[in-house]
A and B are shown apart, each in its own frame.
Chain A
Amino acid sequence: MSNVRKQKRANKSLPFFFKDEFKVSFVIIFVSAILLITTFTFDIVPPILNRGIQPATFPKALLILIIAMTLIIYYLATKNPWKVEKKLPKSFFLTLLSFVIFIVVSKTLDFFLAISALSIFVSYCWGEKRLFYLLLVGIIFPIIVFIFFETILGLRFPPGIITNIYYS
């Protein structure tokens, strides 16, 4: 309990734009505002065909509601600051990077290869150095999953270097 108080006190001493509550509220309001502007570009149904409300009305109402509620949480946070979260460790950013690698490899080279690369990368970054276990998570298990989905569900994976060899 005292730790939470300490963290809250630490948060109070920061300038407002560095505080989590400001950053989170700003992001939500910013994204909502962009989406709200987007709703004005939706096609409009001519009055003669329109039954009930326009397609843009419901999302507009939702976005305004989200913005209003975010302002409320920000106002409440100024009275009762959120606790400061711990800094994210390196392993988190490496895992995040592995997601990016996955997207790039699956788009450019091969879907299976992307799964394999991510599995080995994540396992290694999280501290697994034994070769057998790296092979297990990076090659043996993905092959089992691949074959399982392919044979039982009749799934056809997207084309790529390795997948093409398998299908040919």
Chain B
Amino acid sequence: MDNLLLMLAPLFSSKLLLVLFFGTLFGLILGVLPGLGPTTGGALILPFTMTLDPLSAIVLLTSIYCAGTYGGAITAVLINTPGTPAAAATCLDGYPLAQKGEAGRALGMATVSSTVGGIFSVVILVFFAPILAQLAYEFGQPEYFALAIFGLTMLASIGEGSPIKNLIAGAFGILISTVGKDFMTSIDRFTFGINELTEGIGFIPVVVGLFAMSEMLTQSTLINQVFNRIALKAIKLPSKDDYKKTWKTILRSSGIGSFIGVLPAEGGTVASLIGYSEAKRFSKKPEEFGKGSIEGIAGAEAANNAATGGAMVPTLALGIPGSATTAVILTGLIIHGVRPGPDLFREQPDFLYGIFGSMLIANILFFIFGFFGAKIFARITLVPNKILWPMIFAVSVCGTYSLNQSIIDVWIMLFFGVLGFFMRRYGFSVVPVIIGLILGELVEGTLRQSLVIFEGNWLMFFTRPIALTFFILSLIALAFPLIRSRKIKKKK
């Protein structure tokens, strides 16, 4: 009961409500604009959160996360371009349905299923995160090392790119985290005599570079691209018949999305693809998928929004990001001096339940904004890239500079922008780099401390049951893409 009251606290704080309102609105705008999204937006807004108290800062980031994930559906339905990668599966049926003159119905279903998925995942978060945090009390350094390894091996099975390319990108992310003074011995590593590098490479320049700047370079190759926009008259709430057809799909996808979200390093993109394919598998009319099936939209959208709450579970309970955007939220927590993990649940329940409550409210707010304002948000896509991206550049540069007031950070951002562009061009996803960078310190730190505990005996890792379980799960995660590709080959 106390926890429920703590969850409702944001409703009684005008400041938090204002932050939620702004975060949801900003998240929707970011979600609608192709190339931007909650990860880039979160990274861009991170410096501004320094002016806020920790709860308001995290509420702002989580509301951007929830609304941005939904916002991608608007562009997916109307211009056949996913505003966010998580909305890619929504294009498959959203756009064909819009082409049939039912854009309002498609967006109505996307809005309702996103909201249900989002709220479902917050409920999972409220019940599951404290249990996971309780389990984490049993974790020592070796267990955290094994968990981080499990998180990294999960990169092999994320949606984009080949498994090995994802693992290379993840290893590269960890390598970036080793730049600077070694935390155990203070010995310089990869600093090349540059003083600014002794503190290491910051998270913000890397994220803004890999997401915003590389996208700017990608957009520079698409300046002649023409989008076929479908006019939207008004969003329609789903009919009784639509609800009858889709309620099972929405619930199933909400469960799938929440589960996928909880897995370290996975996120909305994988969730929506699995949610979509499961909706097709269970459908009475699978032949309609890809031609404007309302179940397809519901399956993809409920799953990707359900992944938001799911991804917050390992982030808050263990300090392991569940997705790229939660990696940004995790950075926000660290910047504000909040250490995620079991102690957070014991010492700051008001803070945690404030976040849970805010996520719940954000899901309701984006439903209202989406329902009444989708037409306006759709118009944002009309802002030409030649105006939009130079503006994003100005904000990116100032935002990156502002954290440490270092021009080197800006150059690092530009370097990662170019690198990110070529990575994406040759099929390397940039998400693993971010996850690797976040987990890098944890992996190295726990490995080295474990070896001190074990007096250098590596085999001792396998004598700890929880660590051993994570290692076995890691092997399964590595083998999974192989098994999957063999199955696909056999089917063919």
Contact = CB atoms under 8 A, between A and B. Distances in A.
Interface of A: 20, 24, 28, 35, 38-39, 42-43, 45, 49, 51-53, 55-56, 58-59, 62-63, 65-66, 69-70, 72-73, 76, 82, 85, 88-89, 91-92, 94-96, 99, 102-103, 106-107, 111, 115, 118-120, 122-123, 126-128, 133, 136-138, 141-142, 145-146, 149, 152-153, 155-158
A96 B217 contact: yes
A92 B221 contact: yes
Contacts of A141: 390-391, 394
A134 to B, nearest CB: 9
B387 A63 contact: no
B190 interface: yes
A106 B456 contact: no
B48 A51 contact: no
Contacts of A89: 220-221, 223
Given A63-B175, A66-B168, A128-B384, A152 B51 contact: yes
B271 to A, nearest CB: 26
Given A53-B448, A106-B407, A115 B393 contact: yes
A69 B220 contact: no
A123 B386 contact: yes
Main secondary structure of the interface of B (DSSP, over half): helix
Interface string B416-431: 0110000001110000
Contact of B390 (A45, A103, A119): A119
A107 B187 CA distance: 29
B427 A82 contact: yes
A35 B164 contact: no
A59 B385 CA distance: 40
A43 B216 CA distance: 40
Contacts of B162: 73
A72 B156 CA distance: 14
B223 A91 contact: yes
Interface stretch (B35-43, B82-90, B397-405): B397-405
A42 B187 contact: yes
A102 B402 contact: no
Interface stretch (B123-131, B178-186, B355-363, B461-469): B178-186
Which 10 A/B pairs are nearest by Cβ-Cβ distance?
A119-B390, A126-B386, A95-B220, A55-B182, A128-B386, A52-B451, A52-B448, A137-B390, A55-B187, A43-B187
Number of chain B interface residues as a range: 35 or more
Contacts of A122: 220, 386, 389-390, 393
Contacts of A95: 216-217, 220
A59 B175 contact: yes
Given A20-B426, A55-B187, 12 more contacts: A51-B184, A63-B175, A73-B168, A76-B164, A89-B221, A99-B418, A115-B398, A120-B390, A133-B387, A141-B394, A142-B394, A153-B48
Contacts of A126: 220, 223, 385-386, 389
Contacts of A106: 407, 410
A153 B47 contact: yes
B476 interface: no
Given A56-B189, A126-B386, A66 B175 contact: yes
A94 B178 CA distance: 33
A38 B187 CA distance: 14
B185 A45 contact: yes
Contact of A153 (B184, B220, B402, B426): B402
Nearest to A64: B171
Interface in B439-464: 444, 447-449, 451-452, 456
A42 B179 CA distance: 12
Nearest to B395: A145
A155 B394 contact: no
B387 A123 contact: yes
A73 B164 contact: yes
Contact of B168 (A53, A70, A119): A70
Interface centre among B394, B402, B405, B426 (most CB of A within 10 A): B394
Contact of B167 (A43, A51, A69, A123): A69
B313 to A, nearest CB: 28
A133 B383 CA distance: 12
B165 interface: yes
B208 to A, nearest CB: 13
Contacts of B447: 53, 58
A152 B49 CA distance: 11
A65 B172 CA distance: 10
Contacts of B427: 82
B174 interface: yes
B64 interface: no
